[in-house]
Amino acid sequence: MTWHTITWQQRPQHYEQYLSQLGRIVFAGELGSSYLQPDKSVQSILLVSMTISGQIGFIALIISSSVGIIMGVLISSKHGKVSESIFLVLSYTLISVPEYITAPLFILILSLQLRLVPTSGWEGILSPNIIIPLMVLSLRPTLVLALYVRASMIEIMSKDFVRTAIAKGLHNRRVLFIHCFRNAVIAIVNVFAANVSALIVGSFYVEVAYGIPGFGRVFINSVLDRDYPVILGAVLVTGFLVCVMNFAADIITTLLDPRLSAMN
């Protein structure tokens, strides 16, 4: 007797449970209840935590995007100079340092030695407690975006239309920000989507280290406590957000560059 000849009633119970659970998740969006908090649904737990993480992530994304773009454009104008080499060395060094090293360093310098901000705790998005987490979360995405913008700008500055603009006597700032940057936006959009994924992953450690009751902390605590419904919900939400951001980046890229849609 093969699996295909077995009737529905003869199939194992775990098979029915799997299909039933999958149907509730896909069609009803129901993830069940937490093992540790049976009176709370997984959706409510994740929604509260995602609200906090969303506020922090949104601000960190604005900081990393604005600073990274400006930094990349300015460094591209210093191509071949000593300042560019120093920036590259510092950037690659800081990018290679994980959050579980940069976070304690920021706490040691800004909190324990200089006593400028609190060491941990959550008192709202407008409290001083959020300064160090924002710095830690924004550091790597900022540098990654700056490096991509720099590379795109340098490539575009070698094009004929840029050389023509310079030969016409246009100001360097106009050439950089109008002619070059406008054509480098496509690469920036793709990095922007990747930075969202990096912020989600970075929040896992940062929120645990600083006592922020966000999505990352809920996920880590659920893993340590073996709260499987919450783990499943967190994994599904993370995968969904990453897929949505990548899909949105592809659509925006196609709209910005009609040649891509023509090729497809």
**Model confidence over 155-212: pLDDT tens digits?**
877 777 777 777 777 666 777 666 677 667 777 777 877 888 888 888 888 888 888 8
Q: What is the DSSP letter of 107?
A: I
Would you say residue 13 lies in a domain? no
Would you say residue 12 lies in a domain? no
Number of domains in the chain: 1
- pLDDT average, residue stretch 91-100: 88
Residue range 226-245, pLDDT digits in tens = 988 888 888 888 888 888 88
User: Mapping DSSP to helix (H, G, I), strand (E, B) and coil, where does residue 57 land?
Assistant: helix
Would you say residue 24 lies in a domain? no
Would you say residue 4 lies in a domain? no
Would you say residue 182 lies in a domain? yes
Letter string b/e over residues 116-145, b meaning 16 or more CB atoms within 10 A of that residue's CB: ebbbeebeeeeeebbebbbbbbbbbbbbbb
Would you say residue 55 lies in a domain? yes
Q: What is the pLDDT of residue 89?
A: 93
Dmax (CA) of the chain: 83
- 167 contacts: CB under 8 Å, gap ≥ 6: none
Would you say residue 215 lies in a domain? yes
Would you say residue 81 lies in a domain? yes
Residue range 19-73, pLDDT digits in tens = 777 777 766 667 778 888 888 888 889 998 989 888 888 899 899 988 998 898 8
Tokens representing 195 are 């930075």
Q: What angle (nearest 5°) sits at the alpha carbon of residue 13, between those of residues 10 and 19?
A: 105
CATH at 188: 1.10.3720.10
- pLDDT average, residue stretch 90-119: 85
Domain that holds residue 217: 44-263
Q: What is the pLDDT of residue 264?
A: 54
Break the chain down into helix, strand, coil percent, rounded to 5.
Answer: 80, 0, 20
pLDDT bracket for residue 2 (50, 70, 90)? very low
